[in-house]
Each structure stands twice: as structure tokens, then as C-alpha cells.
Structure 1
Amino acid sequence: MMIEKIKADKFRWHGKKHIFALPQFRFVYVKRHCEHYRDRNKLLFLFWRLIYQHMEIKYNMDVPAKVKIGKGLRIEHIGGVVINPLAELGENITLLNGVLIGSQSRGKRMGTPIIGDEVWIGTNSVIVGGINIGKDCLIAPGAYVNFNVPAHSIVLGNPGKIIPKECATEGYILNKYEYKSE
């Protein structure tokens, strides 16, 4: 499973010659190793976890190793990304810098977000609460999302406004990794 995820993540950077020179890819690569070895081999997990913790500090990222992220993760710009450990992200997700995916500890939207497949999340976007974001959604830079977003939508502004649009992420999700739904 780890190899499949790494292949998918690498595919999203298709065309880049020296992919390991990209800190964004190295960060995701090490995260995938932490995910894989967490319950399989404690010694290898600790090895990869130490490297991962160093990278989190170096690149100003807070993406806990236990966050569930599907195949094909692409982080466009490193820095300032914060994801709650209980959040779930689908496949072919693109994140830019300054993204916050967090929990809400009270109220009717208490919980953490579940983000569907093929979602593009722009710079300085905030996604919080026990909400669902559907497949093929574009969260514009600076958007504040604390409500459910249906599939094939664009969310703009603060407070966020939903604009329905077929193929909302066309031209934004680069090099989609084709996977088989289970």
C-alpha cells in the first residue's frame, strides 16, 4: 500500500526531473513511511518519525503522521500547512501553503473535516468543523469553510459562498492519478 501511495504522489509531479530535490515531495515521502510502519515495525516507525519531526520543524508544517490521506497528495508550496490528526483527506488532493484543516470543539459542527477526492485547496484557506467536502471541489485562496460543500463546487471568500460548477478543478488538479474506487 505504501508503494502505491508513493507512486501516486510521485505521478502527481510527472515531468519533474529531480523529484527528490523538491522538499514538498520529500515531506510526503517520509510521511508515507511513517504511515506504513506505524503498526508494522516500531523501530522503523521511530526512525522515520524522527526524520518526519525534523522536517515538520524545518518546513513549518504540522501534518501529524496519523492523518489519513489518500493517494496522489501534492503540496504545491511548503510551509504553514496545519492539519488536525483526525481529519480525512481523499485522493488527488492539492494543498498550497498556509492551509488550515482543523477541528471544532463545540457547537453543531463539532468534529473534523472529511475531504473528498480531487479537491484543490488554495493558499490561506481555513476548513474547520465536522463537515464534508465533496469530490471535485475548489476551495479558493483565503476561503473560510465551516459548512458542507457539495461535489462539483467552488467556494469563495469569507464567509464562504458556494458556486456550483461541473469540473470545478479542471486545470487545477495537475496530473491526476487514476485509481480504482473500491
Structure 2
Amino acid sequence: MNKQERKQCQYADYYRMTGEGEHTGLRCLKTLFLFHHLAFMYWYRKCQQKSTFFRRYILYRMSRKFGLEISTKATIGKGLYLGHPYNITVAEGVQMGQNVNLHKGCTIGRTNRGNAGVPKIGDCVFVGINATVVGNIEIGDDVLIAPNSYVNVNVPSHSIVIGNPATIHHRDNATEGYVNFRV
């Protein structure tokens, strides 16, 4: 990721999490210090661009303090939204599209047996509180994964996933009202 792409990702993340179009000046700096999810994403994108010891150390400290275990080797598109940002886990190798919402306690991870591998997540996806998405699966675009759901099967676009085991219901505009400030 080059410097220009990283800046665009940072601006998109800032917009998705605050709803404000302004990304510069004292207001942006103040927001970075007051909200740990914005600061985490700032340092996360910096580490993706060029990983230095200082950047990795800051990201490590923030990861341990807030439980944000998001691998820098995951591919995350523009506009990641961290809602109630504590204890969120994203494994190495996971691919996520644009406008993805991750909420408290969600896990997006690898399985080593059965459907071994990591998930590939599309655009405009909402992952609810304590939801788990694991395995070599594909989640389509415009998918809402309800809180406390366990997903280890492919999910087509325009769907709502509920429960354990996952029950998939088709719905057009499934994330309308859930994924806001899209980029």
C-alpha cells in the first residue's frame, strides 16, 4: 500500500467512524487522542504502509490495552468501522472489502480442520456483537451477520445471517440503516 492509498484509507476510516468530512486540523488531532478506535486505525494503516519498530510498538500497546487484535497482514478495504471497539479479532490473511462494520467481541478467524482457511468478506458487511466468522468461506456484499451468530458457511450477497448454526435469509438492502456513511 503506497502513501496515497494509506491516506485515502485513513480519511475513509475517519469519515465512517465520525461522520465528519473534515480530516485535517486541530479537530482531527483532538479526535485521534480522544477516541482509541480512530487512533488504532491510524497506527494500523501506518504499519501497513511501512512497519517500523516505533509504529509496531504503539500498535502493540494499543492492541493489548483495548483487545484489538487485528493482524497487519489482513487485507482491509477503505472505511472500516469499529463499533464499541474492544476485543475484536481479525486473523492474518483475512480479506475484507469496503464499508465493513466490526463490533465488540467479534472474531474473524482461521480454522485448521474441516473448511481450513480464512474468510473473504465483501463490501458493506455488518458483523454484530460476539459474532464469529471462521473458515475458508466467502461472505458476499450487503450482508448483515446478527449478534452471537456462528458463520462457517458461504453467505450469498444481500442476506441476513442469524444464529448458531447459521440460518441465512435473503433480503434486499440487508444493511440499510446499519452500515452508514459509506465511502
The verdict on a shared fold, with TM-score over 0.5 as the criterion, is: yes
CA shift, 1:101, in A, is 0.6
* Residue number among 60, 65, 72 corresponding to 1:65 in the alignment: 72
Task: Determine helix, strand or coil for the equivalent of 2:68.
Answer: coil
CA contact (8 A) 1:25 1:74 kept: no
CA shift, 1:15, in A, is 3.8
Give 2:38's aligned residue: 25
Task: Determine helix, strand or coil for the equivalent of 2:133.
Answer: strand
Give 1:174's aligned residue: 180
* Residue number among 7, 11, 20 corresponding to 1:7 in the alignment: 11
Residue-by-residue CA offset, 1:109-164 (whole Å, 9 max, x unaligned): 11100000110100000000000000000000000000000000000011110010
Instruction: Decide which moves more: 16-25 or 6-15.
Output: 16-25
What amino acid is aligned across from residue 26 of structure 1 in structure 2? Answer: A
What is the TM-score normalised by the length of structure 1? 0.90
CA shift, 1:104, in A, is 1.1
Give 2:24's aligned residue: none
CA contact (8 A) 2:121 2:140 kept: yes
CA shift, 1:19, in A, is 2.9
CA contact (8 A) 2:91 2:110 kept: yes
- Number of residue equivalences: 170
User: In the aligned structure 2, how far is the partner of 1:117 from the partner of 1:28?
Assistant: 18
What are the within-5 Å matches in structure 2 for residues 125-140 of structure 1?
125-140=131-146
Q: Does 1:50 align with 2:57?
A: yes
Task: Determine helix, strand or coil for the equivalent of 2:156.
Answer: coil
Q: Does 1:92 align with 2:99?
A: yes
What amino acid is aligned across from residue 137 of structure 2 in structure 1? Answer: I
User: In the aligned structure 2, how far is the partner of 1:55 from the partner of 1:64?
Assistant: 13
Give 1:113's aligned residue: 119
User: In the aligned structure 2, how far is the partner of 1:146 from the partner of 1:29?
Assistant: 31
- Name structure 2 gaps, 5 residues minimum: 22-26
Task: Determine helix, strand or coil for the equivalent of 2:48.
Answer: helix
User: In the aligned structure 1, how far is the partner of 2:67 from the partner of 2:113?
Assistant: 28
Instruction: Decide which moves more: 134-143 or 16-25.
Output: 16-25
What is the TM-score normalised by the length of structure 2? 0.89
User: In the aligned structure 2, how far is the partner of 1:70 from the partner of 1:148?
Assistant: 20
User: In the aligned structure 2, how far is the partner of 1:74 from the partner of 1:19?
Assistant: 15
- C-alpha root-mean-square deviation of aligned residues, in Å? 1.3
CA shift, 1:170, in A, is 0.2
Residue-by-residue CA offset, 1:161-180 (whole Å, 9 max, x unaligned): 00100100000011001xxx
What amino acid is aligned across from residue 136 of structure 2 in structure 1? Answer: G
* Residue number among 158, 161, 176 corresponding to 2:167 in the alignment: 161
- Runs of 4+ aligned structure 1 residues displaced above 6 Å come to none
What amino acid is aligned across from residue 159 of structure 1 in structure 2? Answer: P
Q: Does 1:83 align with 2:90?
A: yes
